[in-house]
Structure 1
Amino acid sequence: MTARACRWLLPMAMACLLACPSAAQAVEGGEAPLLHAMFQDHAVLQRDRPIHVWGRAQPGEEVRLAFAGKRARGRAGSDGRWQVQLPALKAGGPHALTVSTDSGATQTVHDVLVGDVWLCSGQSNMELPVWRSLDARAEIAGAGSDSIRLLTVPKAGSVRPQDGFAEPASWQRTTPDTLRDFSAACFYFARELQKHVDVPMGLINAAWGGSRIQAWTSGAALRMTGGYDDALDVLEQYAGDPLAAAERWGGIWSRWWQGRAGTAAGDEPWSSAPAAAAGWRNAPRELGPWEQWGVPELAAYDGMVWYRTTVKLSAQQAAQDAVLALGPIDETDMTWVNGRAVGSTYGPGAGREYPLPRGLLREGDNVIAINVLDTYRDGGIAGPASAHAVRLKDGSRIPLSAGWTYRAAPGFDWPPSAPWQSAAGLSTLHNGMIAPLGRYGLRGALWYQGESNTGNGAGYGALLQTLREDWRARFGADLPLLVVQLAGYGMPAAQTGESDWAALREAQRLAAAEDPRTGLAVAIDIGDRYDIHPPNKQELGRRLARAARHVVYGEKLPPSGPVPLAASREGEAVVVSFGDVSGGLAAYGADQPVGFELCAAAAGTCRYARAEIRGNQVLLRAPLAAPAVRVRYGWADSPVVNLFDGAGLPAGPFEIPIPPAHP
């Protein structure tokens, strides 16, 4: 810990000993907490701007607030909600925050600091805990900072915005015990930043592995983006009538299937008609991951597989209310009974329970059809077969023991996700994990997400812009956003080609380039071709901190390494000029840079280019059948790249146009 950071510790520790005989917050009079759950012992409030504090009291009661020598008051509305604004404060603490009401109810929280607060959000690479990062044992053992506070938002998806957390959550000091499971990228960012910005740091981690950006964006913002109205209408219906919404979504899903490339006319695998089952193969009786079935075409298969089985019921059984109980499915299912959609869930390893509407079941054979989508590692319906059953109101359980058949549905045109799904839905994580934060004061937000959206890299830019404006509407119009550009993953390409991962990285680059309050942390060189979760989060934290120093704090330093400024023609060659270069360009491990491509207008025309560094420019040559109109660099899922600057920062992947030659 630096000497500057140590300056916070002794005063804070002494003040806490004097003012906080117990670290637990006090709620007197047996009342429910007056303060929202964001305001707890060990919290950090945002410095240098008005502080919004809110909670609940008896309707109409006056609420009085005291904090760091400042006082404010307000009144609860007819619904009991109240909000009070304290004046801006400089960094410091610890302080006690006390709220009281006319009725004598009082709540005090202790050890509250004032500093910079950061929201860290995204999918699994933001969620990845410190114990999975490099040198984790030493990092955890050496943890101990009273000036970095941690809050992990409980995972929750919701079809409607929530005021509070789904489960208890608490602010914590940084210790080996509290740090172990906290976001590595978020913590290493704050630790590095605090070397240059000597104030307390509050870190709010709201992340969910496998989540899509649409789940983190409010429904209102998605409607303004366009293209989501039908699904959002279904989501609204789901909040009140899940059965009807599931059936309605089944109609949307089936239209997608029937319009999918390669789907034959009349092909309806969910249909209960006998013809729909023709040509299917028998699945192993105990099911389990299809990669382990010994079927060559499924040994390394990511995509969709259809399953079918039947369950025989008596007339008395079919007349009862019932639930279809399925064991774990990896990772997303769309489930049909007798040709009617009954449910869809995202959740690797999670079981499903779908209520069946009265009248759906019938005497005799009932057909159950399940479409399973798996996008990573093992996929399928878990065994044993006895884990799946129809559960009747009378308590009886009818196993799905008739045997399963299957058919694969190859291709990368994967189905739309049901809008109520947690990590893959629309607005669900915004409602369950962002909305409960209210308008808590933030210094900025970190965003590490995109792997789950690589199937639509071209459309990601608009979604990232929408998320940014959506969060600014909630947390403040000047909210800075620091975006991690996706790291490399997968085997390097042997030849040029298209890449959804590269297209998404380009969307991230352009979104950062167009907005001065958005920074980009390039991570292409610190990926792991064998692991989608690269463990070097320390270097990522350093790069995020560097971007923050420029974008948030106004330091005059290049925020993220060399960036392309323009391409121009020079005889038969093309010259790419770079900006934000510290100490000149350098090619690591070779005499020349690699990873550059020159491309004509049509797809499939890119060719690797011979490259030569010339100051802050790179000179490119490649044989092309048509004139080059584009330059690409690092254009692959896991590209081989080696262009850096003197600060050790990589040039990130990009595609830029080459202007026509002047006559």
Structure 2
Amino acid sequence: MLLLAPLAPAMADDTAATLLHPLFQDHAVLQRDQPIRIWGDASPGATVQVALAQHRRSAQAGADGRWTVELPALPAGGPYTLTARTGEASRTVDDLLVGDVWLCSGQSNMELQVWRSLDARAEIAGAASETIRLLTVPQSSSPAPQSTFGGDTRWQSVNPDSIREFSAACWYFARELQKNVDVPMGLVNASWGGSRIQAWTSADALRAAGAYDDELDVLALYATEPADALERWGSIWADWWQQRPGIAADDRPWEGEADGGEWRAAPPGLGAWEHWGTPDLAAFDGMLWYRTNVRLTAAQAAQQATLVLGPADEMDTTWVNGRAVGSTYGAGMARTYALPPGLLRAGDNRIVVNVLDTYREGGLAGPASAHFLQLADGSTVPLDGGWRYRVVPDTVGSPPRAPWQSAAGLSTLYNGMIAPLAGMRLRGMLWYQGESNTFEADAYAALLRGLRDDWRSRFGDSALPFLVVQLANYGTPTSAPGSSDWAALREAQRAVANEAHSALAVTIDIGDRYDIHPPNKQALGRRLARAARHAVYGERIAPSGPVPRDARREGGDVVVNFADVEGHLSAHGAAGPVGFELCGAAADSCRFAEARVDGPRVHLRVEPGMVPVRVRHAWADAPLVNLFDAADLPAGPFEIDIH
């Protein structure tokens, strides 16, 4: 017993470390005016006593060790001390504030740090607040929902050191909002550059959409039997490939032995294909097949082995001897794929890698030494026998994404970054995402509603406010009306943000046609704060600038009536508004229209012989917009019918 006595304090320390969920740390912010939910882990069956302000509650841990208590609501204020105790173990959290908690999520424009925003040096040097607190959720993906974070994290007060790496959009929003809503604010940043909306949505919500059942079945299998899941995924990928236009029935690059004329020798150094000196690849975004052979002895082939590949920009699917062994999303990440026993053989073994790139430079990284087989005995076998490549025609399209991929998968970021937050109380959600879904704009409105409703359910509030940032202008300006995936996705965002307990932040005038990451996040913060003041706090102000109410034919004009106009409409830098289009029934019938301002209305002249049925405004990837109200807010992109 004397020998065992020293173990008691150590066991108490271990219990105390997980007694409270990592959300509950020094400097945290809890949501005001709502019952306060506290949870953590203890020994199964243990009684946990919790105290906060004048309130005391106790709970019994379940068979899995999880316990939860709910304390009465508190008004804005603090600082408070939270304590949790069970047996010999206890945890104390100091400097807790009660105020409004905001979840900021999305892809790279939400992730973009303060140091990358306008006037960053001065912004960082002057950053200070005792009543705004910051929490960055560690980037983590998972095939199954997690109860805690995938890395260390902590709440921080605002100072130059803490604000530098924090989300600029989230920080500038809270700083601006606090000028009108004088309460403590907690900012939770959960974002990942390049992520698709499907990665942020739970499997249950995606299944409800009815379009992802096969992939979700594979994802569920991957959580427990990854090798079996990979084999099944290889079959799904193969079926997709052989259904592509122009692909022959016997065209199976992952297993074929023939060295047809389509395969060419890749440079020994590999690297971005844009630098190979091949004209067809100098500005190529799309897919390439790579393949090489590696010769093994019988003793080598009998060992457990791992295939190690250098980074592939930006997504790979990899086969060994005709069997799928891995698929990863991420331009800067090396690939490490454990090979199933018995897959390798004495003699030649074929390794095939399909690489998809959609933005800037792409390809399988070099040098050749970056790619090898790691054997169980510690030896390595380099893949230096020479690589060959084959270009995939544009007509094939984009391949299916393996559902376990981090930012490009299904539910992976929800599982790793949102599920650990489930149960906390929020004041609202900020969502800035969509660039990675522009290729499926027609589906985006349903996906966005699915995510919104899913998160409202997870956070226990069916009316939880949802603020959407509309995609900014980016890309090459057009000289004639045409189709635009970016414009179509903005319209989907506008439609969802028009629904209850939601609002839109329009950014069509503060983007950068040369940079998908516009740095003017201060203006974005002001617009998000304005949207919150309207949709969350009930202020009688226009949430996002002039919006179309209707469009009607009046004589030789079509007249667009605008609502939410502060002061008056005006056209900046021209005699009238630009970027308006009148469209007939046919898809390619849109024409730019001469426009003039008339109070809260805009008149569009109808050309002789034209029968317009729709009006579009700012319908392009990077449109010119010059119609503003007195609050200097632009009329955003839209498409509406003429009545």
Q: TM-score, normalised by structure 2?
A: 0.96
Deviates more, 1:168-177 or 1:564-573: 564-573
Q: Does 1:296 align with 2:279?
A: yes
**Residue 346 of structure 2 aligns to which amino acid in structure 1?**
E
Matches within 5 A, 1:583-622: 583-622=567-606
1:523-579 CA-partner distances (Å, limit 9, x unpaired): 011101111000000000000000000000000000000111111112232111111
Partner of residue 353, structure 1: 336
Matches within 5 A, 1:157-236: 157-236=141-220
1:66-123 CA-partner distances (Å, limit 9, x unpaired): 111122222212222111111011000001011122x132211000000000000000
Partner of residue 552, structure 2: 568
2:619 aligned residue (635, 641, 662): 635
Structure 1 residues 30 and 391 mapped into 2: Cα distance closer, same or farther (>3 Å)?
Answer: closer
**Residue 80 of structure 1 aligns to which amino acid in structure 2?**
G
**Residue 82 of structure 1 aligns to which amino acid in structure 2?**
W
Matches within 5 A, 1:572-583: 572-583=556-567
Q: Using the alignment, how far apart are the partners of 1:48 and 1:317 within structure 2? A: 65
**Residue 651 of structure 1 aligns to which amino acid in structure 2?**
A
How many Å apart are 1:633 and its aligned residue?
Answer: 0.9
Structure 1: gaps of 5 or more residues: 1-26
Q: What secondary structure does 1:32 align onto? A: helix
- Contact 1:607 1:622 survives alignment (8 Å): no
Q: Using the alignment, how far apart are the partners of 1:625 and 1:430 within structure 2? A: 53
2:66 aligned residue (81, 95, 116): 81
How many Å apart are 1:195 and its aligned residue?
Answer: 0.1
Deviates more, 1:291-300 or 1:444-453: 291-300
Partner of residue 504, structure 2: 520
Matches within 5 A, 1:367-516: 367-411=350-394, 413-475=397-459, 476-513=461-498, 515-516=499-500
Q: Does 1:116 align with 2:103?
A: no
**Residue 155 of structure 1 aligns to which amino acid in structure 2?**
Q
Q: Using the alignment, how far apart are the partners of 2:608 and 2:344 within structure 1? A: 63
Q: Does 1:70 align with 2:55?
A: yes
Structure 1 residues 489 and 410 mapped into 2: Cα distance closer, same or farther (>3 Å)?
Answer: farther
How many Å apart are 1:297 and its aligned residue?
Answer: 2.0
Count of aligned residue pairs for this structure pair: 630
Structure 1 residues 257 and 625 mapped into 2: Cα distance closer, same or farther (>3 Å)?
Answer: farther
How many Å apart are 1:171 and its aligned residue?
Answer: 0.3
Q: Using the alignment, how far apart are the partners of 2:145 and 2:513 within structure 1? A: 38
- Contact 1:334 1:345 survives alignment (8 Å): yes
Q: Using the alignment, how far apart are the partners of 2:13 and 2:139 within structure 1? A: 32
Q: Using the alignment, how far apart are the partners of 1:291 and 1:30 within structure 2? A: 53
Q: Using the alignment, how far apart are the partners of 1:254 and 1:111 within structure 2? A: 56
Partner of residue 79, structure 2: 94
Q: Using the alignment, how far apart are the partners of 1:264 and 1:529 within structure 2? A: 40
Q: Using the alignment, how far apart are the partners of 2:611 and 2:257 within structure 1? A: 56
**Residue 128 of structure 1 aligns to which amino acid in structure 2?**
L
Q: What secondary structure does 1:545 align onto? A: helix
Partner of residue 7, structure 2: none
Q: What secondary structure does 1:166 align onto? A: coil
How many Å apart are 1:393 and its aligned residue?
Answer: 2.0
Q: Using the alignment, how far apart are the partners of 2:352 and 2:606 within structure 1? A: 53
**Residue 474 of structure 2 aligns to which amino acid in structure 1?**
Y
Matches within 5 A, 1:121-140: 121-140=105-124
Q: What secondary structure does 2:310 align onto? A: strand
4+ residue runs over 6 A deviation: none
Q: Using the alignment, how far apart are the partners of 1:83 and 1:319 within structure 2? A: 51
Q: Using the alignment, how far apart are the partners of 2:14 and 2:362 within structure 1? A: 50
Partner of residue 283, structure 1: 266
Q: What secondary structure does 1:431 align onto? A: helix
- Contact 2:509 2:634 survives alignment (8 Å): yes
**Residue 380 of structure 2 aligns to which amino acid in structure 1?**
R
Q: TM-score, normalised by structure 1?
A: 0.93
Structure 1 residues 278 and 355 mapped into 2: Cα distance closer, same or farther (>3 Å)?
Answer: farther
- Contact 1:291 1:379 survives alignment (8 Å): yes
1:248-284 CA-partner distances (Å, limit 9, x unpaired): 1111112222222343443222223215x44212211
How many Å apart are 1:625 and its aligned residue?
Answer: 6.5
Structure 1 residues 410 and 535 mapped into 2: Cα distance closer, same or farther (>3 Å)?
Answer: farther
1:169-222 CA-partner distances (Å, limit 9, x unpaired): 100000000000000000000000000000000000000000010000000010
Structure 2: gaps of 5 or more residues: 1-10
Q: Does 1:146 align with 2:154?
A: no
Structure 1 residues 261 and 516 mapped into 2: Cα distance closer, same or farther (>3 Å)?
Answer: same
Q: Using the alignment, how far apart are the partners of 2:624 and 2:472 within structure 1? A: 12
1:456-496 CA-partner distances (Å, limit 9, x unpaired): 01100000000000000011212111000000111111221
Q: Using the alignment, how far apart are the partners of 2:626 and 2:110 within structure 1? A: 26
Partner of residue 362, structure 1: 345
Q: Using the alignment, how far apart are the partners of 1:609 and 1:451 within structure 2? A: 28
Partner of residue 251, structure 1: 235
**Residue 541 of structure 1 aligns to which amino acid in structure 2?**
G
RMSD: 1.5
- Contact 2:106 2:432 survives alignment (8 Å): yes
- Contact 1:28 1:107 survives alignment (8 Å): no
